Structures are given as C-alpha cells and as structure tokens.
Amino acid sequence: MTPEELVEGFHSGALATASFGHREHVQLTWILLVRDGRARAEEQLLAGLRAFAARAGKPDKFDAALTRAWIAAIDEAREKTAAITFEELIAARPDLLHGRLSGVPEAPL
C-alpha cells in the first residue's frame, strides 16, 4: 500500500483491519505529522482511530492518552533524527516498530 492509499483508506474508512498493523499506525502518524503539523495530525488521529476501533468492533481498544503518547514519541523522533522519509525514520529509530517504547504503553490495535 502506498502512503497515499494508507491516508485515503484511513480517512475514508475503507482501510481493512488486517491492513492496519502497528507499522501502518506509525507510518500514518509520521505522514500526518509531516504533512499537517502536530495539532492537526493529533486531531485527525484521535478522531480517525476512535472510528477505526469502533468499525473493527473494538471500541474499547481506543485510548486517547495512549494515542497522544505515541504521537509525541513519533514527533520527537522525527525532529531529533531529521529524517526525510519514513524509512529513514525507521532506520534511525527501529524501536518505533516494536510496539513498545520506554514510558509509552503498548499500542492497543
């Protein structure tokens, strides 16, 4: 899936649960942070992930505090690494794909 397809699928609600694992969560967050800035990215992710969890039949899996913590961690990594691409970010910070960061709870979806 291309980055454009990921964003479009997320916003349209067409993204299949099986196609949206942790890596895709991190990639989508990175894309929105780069494209729209922190405040707008957070707004989109909070609303979109809440809706995604509900569509997946797991509304209790959505956690706004956890989502904000991951957004902050990814944004901080993006700023500190000066990564130009998502792949550069992951090369510099592979821990972002492990689903667990120091001080940030495990990703629920």
Domain extents for the chain? 3-97
- In three-state secondary structure terms, 101 is strand
- Cβ neighbors of 80 (< 8 A, separation 6 or more) are none
Find out whether 44 and 37 touch, Cβ atoms under 8 Å: no
Chain center to CA of 63? 13
pTM of the model: 0.89
Find out whether 30 and 89 touch, Cβ atoms under 8 Å: yes
Rounded to 10°, the helix 38-55/64-81 angle is: 140
Q: Is 10 exposed, middle or buried (0-12, 13-18, 19+ CB in 10 A)?
A: buried
One pLDDT digit (tens) per residue for the chain, 109 residues: 899 999 999 999 999 988 899 999 999 999 999 999 999 999 999 999 999 999 999 999 999 999 999 999 999 999 999 889 999 999 999 999 987 766 665 555 4
Tokens of 42: 């957070």
**Cα-trace Rg, the chain:** 13
